[in-house]
Amino acid sequence: MNFSLAAPAADRIELLLFRNGSDRVPEQVIELDGRRHRSGDYWHVEVEGLNEGCCYGYRVFGPLAPGAHGFCPSKVLLDPAARAITGWDVYDRVLATGPSPNAHACLKGVVSERQRFDFEAHPRPRHSWQRTVIYELHVGAFTRASDSGVDPSNRGTYQGVIEKLPYLQELGVTAIELLPVFSFDPADAPPGRDNVWGYSPLNWFTPHHGYCSVDNPLQGRNEMRQLVAACHDAGIEVLLDVVYNHTT
């Protein structure tokens, strides 16, 4: 497996490998040597013997700047380009982001496949803009109600949206615009409230775990691909709502 992280101001980096997403202590710590494991702004290392499903995080060392944006090497950091995320069962927003070490309460990346979407098998409908009817859709809320007509196990998920595609076709919809489906922190909200809309994403490469029909971080990408494939096959485009100025 090849790991790579952009950290131009870092002095050194540790790659932490965990057996499980809820583990407090890494199974292995690999220190990246700036002379061997750095190319420009990027720190990188190839590790043999790892498989899909390996959990990992980083510790980044650099200049400390109390009261400002400085490095905090006591923190296990989530890979901003992770394709899957785990650790939600132990994650605590306050403990993960506070001043103390957070290995016991943080999220971790998961090594996953990098298969691309098969546009040849499921080509975009490519409706003209003059004939486009866009339906703005929140994946979690669209099918969550008990009267949605969706199988209970699929309510509020990508699979639930697939079940409702005939309904969207009946409405004459030619494109769905998905409110943020990137991994986000539901606790990123004022006290007593939840982050329902999904803004302030944790990263833009991992489908949100709360919209998956199964509790398996490696299935998110597959379910997202299944949704897009089903939409294209039904003659419906898929647009993504991305807001880069709302992020943690």
Residue 247 has pLDDT above 60, yes or no: no
Residue 188 has pLDDT above 60, yes or no: yes
Residue 135: predicted pLDDT: 98
Q: Which residue has the higher pLDDT, 223 or 100?
A: 223
Residue 68: predicted pLDDT: 60
- List, in order of start, the domains of the chain with CATH numbers: 2-110 (2.60.40.10), 129-240 (3.20.20.80)
Residue 243: predicted pLDDT: 81
> Tell me: the pLDDT tens digits for 195-225?
999 988 888 899 999 999 999 999 999 999 9
Residue 72: predicted pLDDT: 87
Average pLDDT, the chain: 93
Residue 124 has pLDDT above 70, yes or no: yes
- Percent residues over pLDDT 90 in the chain: 86
> Tell me: the pLDDT tens digits for 2-30?
999 999 999 999 999 999 999 999 999 99
Residue 66: predicted pLDDT: 61
Mean predicted confidence (pLDDT) in 105-109: 96
Bridge partners (DSSP) listed for residue 173: none
> Tell me: the pLDDT tens digits for 154-164?
999 999 999 99
- Check: CB of residue 125 under 8 Å from CB of residue 174: yes
Residue 56: predicted pLDDT: 98
Residue 246: predicted pLDDT: 66
Give, in degrees to the nearest 5, the angle at Cα 50 between 45 and 55.
Answer: 85
> Tell me: the pLDDT tens digits for 59-91?
999 987 665 667 888 999 999 999 999 999 999
The reported pTM is: 0.91
